[in-house]
Every structure is written in C-alpha cells, then in structure tokens.
Amino acid sequence: MNSKIFTSSTLLLLSVLTPFLVQGQPRVVGEPEVLISSDETIFMKPLWSPDGSSLAFTSTRHQGIWVAEASGDNMQQITDKNAGYGFSWSADGKSLLTRVSEYENRRQKHAISIFSIENKAQQLLTEFRNDMPATPQWADFDRQVVLITDESVEAFDTGKEIGTREKMTTNKLFYVLKSNKLAAGMIPTNSTEDISPFDDAQYLNLEVSPDGQKLSFEIYGGNLFVMNIDGTGLVDLGKANRAKWSPDSRYVIAMVADDDGHEYTKSDLVVFSIDGTQKINMTQSSDIVAINPSWSPTGNRIAFDNPRDGNIYVLSIEY
C-alpha cells in the first residue's frame, strides 16, 4: 500500500517536473568535433548568429571576419580588415557591427563599421579617428549604433528598418562598458545610468542574457559575475573568463584557464548556473585548450576555439 502511494506520488511529481527536467542540466554528448579549420589561418572567437544558422569568427590578432553555416560549410571571408575584436550580429542576422582599425604613421585610426553578410559590403558609420577606447553596440532594435566612452554618448543611424511592433517601443535599454563603470543606456535621450555593482572597478566582457534580464561580466583582475539589469542580485561565479549565455538565460558558459604569463597552460569550458550553485565541466581535455565559448541559440551546440591548432570546435549538448 505504502509502496503504491509512493509510486503514485513519484509519478505525479515527475509529471509536474517534466517540463523542467527537459530543460535540466546541460551535459556534453561525445567528444568535441572540429567544425572549421584551415591550413594556414588560426580561427578564434566564434559567435553564433541570432537564429543559430551561422557562425562568425575571426583569426589571430583579430584580423578579418569569416562566416560559415552552422554545419561549417560555405565559409566566406567577410573582411580582411582589423575588425575582429568585439563584433556583434544584428538581430536579423544580416549584418555584423564592429570597430575597424588602420595604421598610419605608427598610430591606429578607428571607425565604426557594419558589414553585410550577403554581399560583404562595408558601411562606415564614422570617419577614422585617432582614439576609440570602446566597442560599438547595437541599439534601438538595430536602428542605431551607440558608442559610449567616459566623455560622450554618440548614436549613429544604421538605416535598418524595424518592424511595427518595435516601432511601438523605442525605449529598450542597452548596456555598455565604460572605463570603470557598467552603464545602462537609453535611446533617444542618449543618456546613461551607472549600474556598477562595485566602485572603482574595471569591467570586461559584458554580455546581456537573451531574456534581457541579466548581465554577465568580468572584473578586471577578478572574477566572473552575473547580476540583474538594475544592478541587484550580484552573484560571484569565481575565476572564469569570456562568458556567453545559454539561450534559456539560465546558464553562462566560460573558459577557466591557467597561464604561465606567456601562454595558456590549460583551459576548460565550464557551465555556471546563474545562481552560482552549479558548476559543470564541459571539457576535460589536456590536448585541447578550450577557449572562447559561444552557445548556440538552439541550445544544443557550443562552439569554441583552440589556440594550439587554430580550429573551431563544437560540443554537442543534451539536457
């Protein structure tokens, strides 16, 4: 009798939890597979397109940007310019926003640029400038790009059309790094609000969760953190770098690396639950130095690179 009650209760509980269990802990299936490789070029920093159908990546020194299909096929170079640091996809997956740089008289000149995936056309949003200690961000449903430094907030029209629904809402916040602050910005006022959880800290690698409710970031010389977009709910995830969000906004994946001051001596990818209670190793390989993860919007793949061979790898994920 008791046994039946227990069984029934268990089944009931399982049925209630089924949707949650389906979205349970991510785990790796099989070994990492090489997705993209080249005889001469070392690729790095893969970034999935918003719909997960494509992957953009750069090469060492952040020279050039390439795009390939999620299968790794049809790789094409979008630009060979010094443009690979801090690029980001437009929401429609048709463009890449980045900062491009050129040298003149030993000095770098920088401009904000958008590259079309379809025809590789470059759209310069600014002239080349001597200083640009920031990376540009999409804003206002990609209708604008903002460049925020300590001294100014600049907005540039991208010429992108936005849908009717988006036109009804023009106050979506964006989030940016300043030299010693995290800031939330607002279009069209071009104002920023300090949401920094720490005084006098340098922040790095800010990422907004897909549901728009959380931020992940690093403290320079410190740990990886997540918090709510209003600056509350700070969680210290420990020593980890270059985090990216899971599509359900419940996890971040980051690289946990050791170095000897000259080279990475090892690096593994680790998934952190955003409450800090779970920490799941996704790689445990001494052969591969796994860095720069990116979680596919479809949730079932994680791309990363390995500086020892210059390949882009993927991990298959189940829940």
Partner 1 sequence: MLSMKTYLILILTASLTILNAVKAQEITGLDGFSLFLDPGHSQTENEGLYNYSEAEKVLRVGLELRRLLLTYTDIDTVYISRTNDLQQVSLSQRTDLANFLAPDFFHSIHSNAGSASTNNTLFLHGGWRKDGQTVEKNPAGGKDMGDIMEIVHTAAMRIPTIGNYADRTFYQGFPTSHTNQWPYLHVNRETNMASVLSESGFHTNPTQQQKNLNTEWKHMEAMSFFWVMLEYLDVERPTVGIGAGLITDADNDLPINGATISIGDSTYTTDTDESLFDQYSALPNALRNGFYYITGLQPGQAELIATADGFYSDTVEINIDSTDFTFTDVALISSVPPFILSNSVGNDSLINPGEDLVLQFSRSMNTQSVDEALSFFPEVEYSSSWNSNGTELSINTTSLEFISNYTLTIDSTASDNSIYEHSLDGNGNGESNGDFVLDFETGQEDINAPVITSIYPDGVRPDGLWPIASISFDEHLDTTKIDNSTVQIRIGTYSVPGVVKYYTVDEKSVLNFFPSERLEPNKFYKLQFDGSISDTAGNSLGKNVLRTFQTPNFEYVNATEVDDFEGGINSWWQPSQSGSTTGYLAEETIISVTDKTLNLLTESSQAMQLNYGWDTTSAENLIREYRSVGLPRFGNQRFVQSYIFGDGSENLFRFMIRDGSNQLEGSSWQTIDWIGWKLVTWDLAQDSVIAWVNGNGSINGNSYVDSYQLTYKKGGAVTGTLIFDDFRVVDKGLPTSTEEIDSNLPVRVELSQNYPNPFNPTTSINFGLPENGDVSLKIYDMLGREVAVLFDGVKKQGYHSITFDASALASGVYIYRLNTNTGAITKKMTLLK
Binding site for partner 1 (CB under 8 A): 40-42, 44, 59-63, 82, 84-86, 99, 101, 103, 106-108, 110, 129-135, 149-152, 154, 177, 179-180, 198, 200-202, 204-205, 218-222, 241-242, 255, 257, 259, 261-264, 291, 307, 309-310
Tell me the C-alpha distance between 49 and 101, whole Å.
Answer: 23
> 188: cis peptide before it, omega within 30°?
yes
User: Shortest gap between Cβ of 96 and partner 1 (angstroms)?
Assistant: 16
User: Shortest gap between Cβ of 297 and partner 1 (angstroms)?
Assistant: 24
User: Shortest gap between Cβ of 101 and partner 1 (angstroms)?
Assistant: 7
Q: Which is nearer to partner 1, 50 or 86 (CB)?
A: 86
Q: Which is nearer to partner 1, 138 or 141 (CB)?
A: 138
Amino acid at the residue 97: L
Tell me the C-alpha distance between 303 and 294, whole Å.
Answer: 5
User: Shortest gap between Cβ of 274 and partner 1 (angstroms)?
Assistant: 21
User: Shortest gap between Cβ of 281 and partner 1 (angstroms)?
Assistant: 18
Q: How many CA atoms lie within 13 A of 261 on its CB side?
A: 0
Tell me the C-alpha distance between 246 and 23, whole Å.
Answer: 11
What is the DSSP secondary-structure string of 152-184?
-EEEEE------HHHHT-----EEEEETTEEEE
Contact 263, 276 (CB under 8 A): no
Tell me the C-alpha distance between 252 and 246, whole Å.
Answer: 6
